[in-house]
């Protein structure tokens, strides 16, 4: 099995080394590509150090500026698709996504083109969220389902596993989302193309270190971006 996890980072120095170690504990065969957006906290330098210690498993792509999660993913995807990986995964770098869920992803991807890690497949599976954050997340999930008509319980999830062929089928030139809406746009395009999508339950744990990237600007972008996505397609 040839698999790689693409990990966009911005100011994740406090979490990155532990995440890499936890992925390694699961499997020494899973590669990682850290895509750092010139983090001022030294995340990029730490990523280089981790790569030097693990030259056959950890790779680093440095970008000059922070211009959106979506663009970071696109640059990462383009790089890994030059190699012979069968499966490409997306994970948050803040320890919110537990590598212990990876076996479920690999089991499901055998019969799917895309597997989505859902916080809401079996009820609500989140840790350390206050009521406001939980309500906001559920509202966002329901909004995305209503607007896009995609039959997913967690279209905003950042923990996903793609078959190589599915990712190649999407193409990236026509994407307009640069922020978190990119995660929705990817799944929406996959659904519209008729790709087979499955879901596995995950437990999402709120970050312990560093600052959350969620603010009202991000929320506004998401609301408008999802509506724009539906209007364009």
- Give the residue with greater pLDDT, 131 vs 148: 148
CATH assignment of the domain containing 210:
3.90.550.10
Contacts of 143 (CB under 8 A, 6+ apart): 223, 226
- Convert the pLDDT of each residue in 148-162 to its tens digit: 899 999 999 999 999
- Convert the pLDDT of each residue in 41-50 to its tens digit: 999 999 999 9
Structure tokens at 56: 């056959």
Do 179 and 67 touch, CB atoms closer than 8 A? no
What is the dihedral sign for C-alpha 197, 88, 136, 203? Answer: positive
Task: Domain count for the chain, please give it.
Answer: 1
136 pLDDT exceeds 60?
yes
Residue 64 DSSP symbol:
S
CA distances for 65 relative to 36, 69, 142, 153, angstroms: 9, 11, 33, 33
pLDDT averaged over every residue in the chain: 89
224 pLDDT exceeds 90?
no
> How much of the chain, in percent, has pLDDT values that exceed 70?
91
210 pLDDT exceeds 90?
no
Residue 99 DSSP symbol:
G
Residue range(s) defining the domain that contains residue 69: 3-232
Structure tokens at 36: 């750092």
Which pLDDT band holds residue 67 (cuts at 50, 70, 90)?
confident
User: What pLDDT does residue 129 have?
Assistant: 67
- On the 0-12 / 13-18 / 19+ scale of CB atoms within 10 A, 43 is buried
Q: String of b and e for 1-27 (b: at least 16 CB within 10 Å)?
A: eebbbbbbbbbbbbbbeebbeebbeee
Structure tokens at 76: 């990462």
């Amino acid at each position: 099995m040839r698999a790689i996890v693409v990990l966009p980072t911005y100011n994740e120095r406090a979490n990155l080394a532990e995440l890499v170690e936890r992925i390694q504990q699961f499997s020494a065969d899973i590669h990682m590509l850290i895509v750092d957006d010139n983090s001022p906290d030294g995340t990029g330098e730490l990523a280089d150090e981790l790569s030097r210690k693990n030259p056959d498993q950890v790779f680093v792509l440095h970008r000059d500026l922070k211009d959106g999660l979506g663009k970071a993913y696109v640059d990462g995807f383009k790089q890994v698709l030059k190699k012979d990986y069968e499966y490409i995964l997306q994970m948050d770098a803040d320890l919110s996504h537990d590598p212990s869920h990876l076996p479920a992803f690999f089991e499901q991807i055998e019969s799917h083109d895309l597997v989505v890690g859902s916080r809401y497949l079996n009820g609500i599976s989140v840790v350390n969220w206050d009521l406001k954050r939980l309500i906001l997340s559920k509202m966002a999930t329901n909004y995305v389902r209503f607007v896009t008509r995609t039959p997913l319980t967690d279209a905003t999830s950042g923990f996903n596993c793609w078959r190589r062929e599915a990712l190649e089928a999407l193409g990236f030139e026509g994407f307009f989302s640069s922020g978190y809406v990119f995660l929705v746009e990817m799944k929406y395009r996959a659904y519209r193309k008729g790709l087979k999508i499955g879901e596995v339950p995950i437990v999402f744990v709120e970050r312990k270190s560093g600052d959350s990237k969620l603010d009202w600007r991000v929320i506004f972008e998401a609301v408008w971006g999802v509506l724009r996505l539906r209007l364009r397609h």
